[in-house]
Structure formats: structure tokens, C-alpha cells
């Protein structure tokens, strides 16, 4: 098992310079993926009825958008995780930075829309357990 990287508050906030744009892209790609999945499901439902005026290119375009969004989302996730950061919510862009506080593992908590890390929670607590730093 890999030993987690621990961040100081300063290191985590400095990492946001590179990670913030990735997290913002991750949220956008996730939204696009959900929309592409809904579009593809809608096309499938149309075929189930009478097919309407669908063409093979309708499916090809939907499948291409689905594949592209999924690939770009996966790339964002991989880059964020490679930095040693945990992704807790794709829709919100919620990231946790492992840290130590008085010898105990904690998570410095940030999400898209916040300008810097101002909250933390215990490793066994979630977003609802956030406490001001």
C-alpha cells in the first residue's frame, strides 16, 4: 500500500495554483458527460418507440461526445490524483489534501468556487464535518 503524501496548509494552497484549473475542468467534463449520457439514452428511447427521424450519424455524434467527455474527465482525475490529492465529489469539484494535525491524519478540504483552503475534517468525517482552520 502506498504511503500517502501529507501536505502542509501552505503546500496545499500552493498546489491549488495547478489543481484549481484541473478541478474546474473536471466539474465541466463531468457535466458534459452526464449530458452526453442523457442524450444517448434519449436516442435509445426514441429508437424504442418509432425511431423518429434518427440517422446513424446521430448515434455516432452522441457516442463521440460521450467518449470524448469520459476521456477528458479521466485525464483530469488522473492528474489530480497523481498530485496525491483525493477527489471526493466530481460534481462539486471537492478535493481533500491529506495532512497531519497533532500527529493525527486529517484532510484539508477545498472545492471549486473557494479561493483557498479554509477548512479541514477528520479522515473518518466527510464534508459535513468540515471545521474552519
Q: What is the pLDDT of residue 81?
A: 96
pLDDT digits 0-9 by tens, 1-26: 566 789 999 999 999 999 999 999 99
Task: Write out pLDDT tens, residues 61-92.
Answer: 888 888 999 999 999 999 999 999 999 999 99
Lowest mean pLDDT, pick from 14-23, 43-52, 76-85, 93-102: 43-52
- DSSP string over 46-107: HHHTT-TT--HHHHHHHHHHHHHHHHHHHHHHHHHHHTT-EEEETTTTEEEEEEEETTEEEE
Domain ranges, ordered by start, for the chain = 9-132
pTM for the full predicted model? 0.85
Q: Is 31 exposed, middle or buried (0-12, 13-18, 19+ CB in 10 A)?
A: middle
Mean pLDDT of 41-66: 74
The DSSP 8-state label assigned to residue 128 in this structure reads G
Amino acid at each position: 500500500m502506498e504511503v500517502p503524501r501529507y501536505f502542509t496548509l501552505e503546500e496545499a494552497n500552493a498546489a491549488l495554483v495547478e489543481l484549481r484549473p484541473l478541478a474546474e475542468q473536471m466539474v465541466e467534463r463531468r457535466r458534459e458527460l452526464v449530458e452526453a449520457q442523457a442524450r444517448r439514452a434519449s436516442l435509445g428511447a426514441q429508437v424504442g418507440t418509432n425511431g423518429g427521424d434518427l440517422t446513424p450519424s446521430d448515434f455516432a455524434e452522441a457516442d463521440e461526445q460521450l467518449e470524448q467527455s469520459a476521456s477528458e474527465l479521466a485525464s483530469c482525475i488522473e492528474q489530480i490524483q497523481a498530485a496525491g490529492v483525493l477527489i471526493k465529489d466530481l460534481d462539486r469539484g471537492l478535493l481533500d489534501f491529506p495532512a497531519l494535525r497533532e500527529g493525527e491524519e486529517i484532510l484539508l478540504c477545498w472545492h471549486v468556487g473557494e479561493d483557498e483552503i479554509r477548512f479541514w475534517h477528520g479522515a473518518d468525517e466527510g464534508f459535513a464535518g468540515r471545521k474552519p482552520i
